[in-house]
Chains A and B, each alone.
Chain A
Amino acid sequence: VPLTSSSNAIRVAVFGPLDNQGRVDAIADRLRGAMALGLIANGEQLPSEDRLATSLGVSPVSLREALVRLRADGLVETRRGNRGGSFVVSPSELGTARLRDELATMTAYQLRDLGDLRGALAGAAARRAAERRSSDAVSRLRSLAEALDEARTAPERYRADGRFCVEVAAAAQSVRLAQLELELQITIGAMAWLTVPGDDVDTYHAHMAAGYLALVDAIDATDVARARERAERNTERTTDRLVELHYALSDRAR
């Protein structure tokens, strides 16, 4: 999911290049996002450059260049020798400076547009998860919502948030919804956990944890309408926060 859309975006989505961000940027962003979300674990060895390039469907040259950037950011470490390779250095921060710049340069309209997409996806997933309720999934979701409630640092909160959203889509019995949710989390999930001076992220955190628990209750009760409504309300809260953060960041940048 590209972060921003331009004019003619719908036609571009059909006829345009598969990624207009530039291959290298796209690869680096995707790997960076997966690391921030904790999907690639600290110390994990990345597949060999050839295999990774093949599985990403990019040229080895683009991949190597992306890895050079990640190395410069301290996110990847290369060790030589026969047990060598590229290893992930898990970020202890959210990659804050880059995210701030990104959020500052976006517009309220773009954030609302992405928010609509997230709401549609989360609402559909929640609805199906309630309709197709499984007691195993409900207990998983409950412990993940509790994990978000207990998370203290920004990366912990982002990861718990992201996993919860992906697991709701999994509880809907849909691999495709889960994949899309994961893609959205990697693209914009972290931004909501940024902070600006004078901002009350703990209140937002408490609201989200409570909102997720309320969603689990609705799924548990197989209340399809309430599940959808709860999920949509949760994403709206996030969109509102993103817009507020955006205003604060872009005002400061000016």
Chain B
Amino acid sequence: MTRPTSSRTADTERAADRVAAALAERISGVFDATERIAIDLSNLAAAARRAGDPLRRSGLAPMRRAIDAAIAAEPRLVIGAGVVLAPELLADASLWLEWWTTAPAGPSQPLRPNLDPGSAWFYDYTRAPWFVEPRDRDRRAIVGPYVDIGGTDDYTLTLTVPVRLKGDFLGVAGCDLAIDGLERVVREHTRRLGTQVILVNHEPRVIASSIAQAHPGSLFAPAPGSPFERHTAHPCPRLPWTLIVAD
């Protein structure tokens, strides 16, 4: 945390830390629901291995319950959830996503992106950072905001966790977060602070902010004379996000 350069009270500092922690807590709940999807996949893969049967697309149907539960737990925030499989894991599809997205009305819908490597619009998820990071570093990832061309085609953030079975990488389980929902959550938490705030990711790209000079999606770079020229940074625990508070 940067030391405050003004006379602002330690109370505001502590309040900002609490808000950063509360945001992290909220996202942590989504990660927990994602871990439950991950456990489902590794259980299904373990059962298939015991039975000596290869895993198939149809065998993933029981995952729907955990996927819908992840969406239902945070209906304003989570707009899609599922698993994205390691190449050649399934016997009947070399690449596959068992991913469901919310619909304006009615039940969730399966996402069916173009998985034909020969196509110009191939959705090559094996190169997506939300797939690469859990695979190569065996850790959680939260990526975005970004426009998910060819996938949901929406402006979103994607959080993922690795799924492994006895060390073998099976794929990732994940959730897509609605940028609008996230902005509203951030506003609810930060309104009481009584000061200008910006939530940024590691780049640092603005996720949500309380001032018009820092638009969502832009890179955080306070102009001279901006209220953020002097600020304190409050990291969100366990997330690559930082709450920036104007002095």
Contacts and interface: CB of A to CB of B under 8 A. Distances in A.
Interface string B176-217: 000000000000000000000000000101000000000011
A108 to B, nearest CB: 30
A41, A42, A169, A174, most chain B CB atoms within 10 A: A41
Contacts of B153: 175, 178
A42 B120 CA distance: 12
A160 B121 CA distance: 8
A159 B121 contact: yes
B125 to A, nearest CB: 12
A134 B120 contact: no
A163 B123 CA distance: 11
A131 interface: yes
A79 B127 CA distance: 36
A132 B217 contact: yes
B121 A163 contact: yes
B151 to A, nearest CB: 11
A174 to B, nearest CB: 7
Nearest to B218: A132
A38 B120 contact: yes
Interface residues of A, number: 26
Contacts of B143: 136
Contacts of B72: none
A173 interface: yes
A41 B122 CA distance: 9
A246 interface: no
A156 interface: yes
Contact of A156 (B120, B129, B203, B216): B120
A12 B57 CA distance: 50
Given A131-B218, A132-B218, A175 B121 contact: no
Contact of A38 (B119, B149, B203): B119
A136, A169, A171, most chain B CB atoms within 10 A: A136
A166 B147 CA distance: 11
A39, A147, A162, most chain B CB atoms within 10 A: A39
A169 B155 CA distance: 12
B146 A41 contact: no
B149 A162 contact: no
Contacts of B216: 173
Contacts of B145: 173
A38 B123 CA distance: 12
Contacts of A220: none
B149 A170 contact: yes
A174 B120 CA distance: 21
Contacts of A42: 116, 119
Nearest to A164: B120
Contacts of B146: 134, 136-137, 170, 173
A147 B120 contact: yes
Contact of A175 (B119, B129, B155, B203): B155
B201 to A, nearest CB: 10
Interface string A124-165: 000000011110110000000001000000001001101100
B218 A163 contact: no
B131 to A, nearest CB: 12
Contact of B114 (A41, A131, A133, A169): A41
B147 A131 contact: no
B219 interface: yes
Contacts of A131: 218-219
Given A134-B205, A156-B120, A173-B145, 16 more contacts: A37-B120, A38-B119, A39-B121, A41-B116, A41-B121, A131-B218, A133-B219, A159-B119, A159-B120, A160-B120, A163-B120, A170-B149, A173-B155, A174-B217, A175-B153, A175-B154
7 contacts: A41-B119, A136-B146, A137-B146, A147-B120, A169-B147, A173-B217, A174-B155
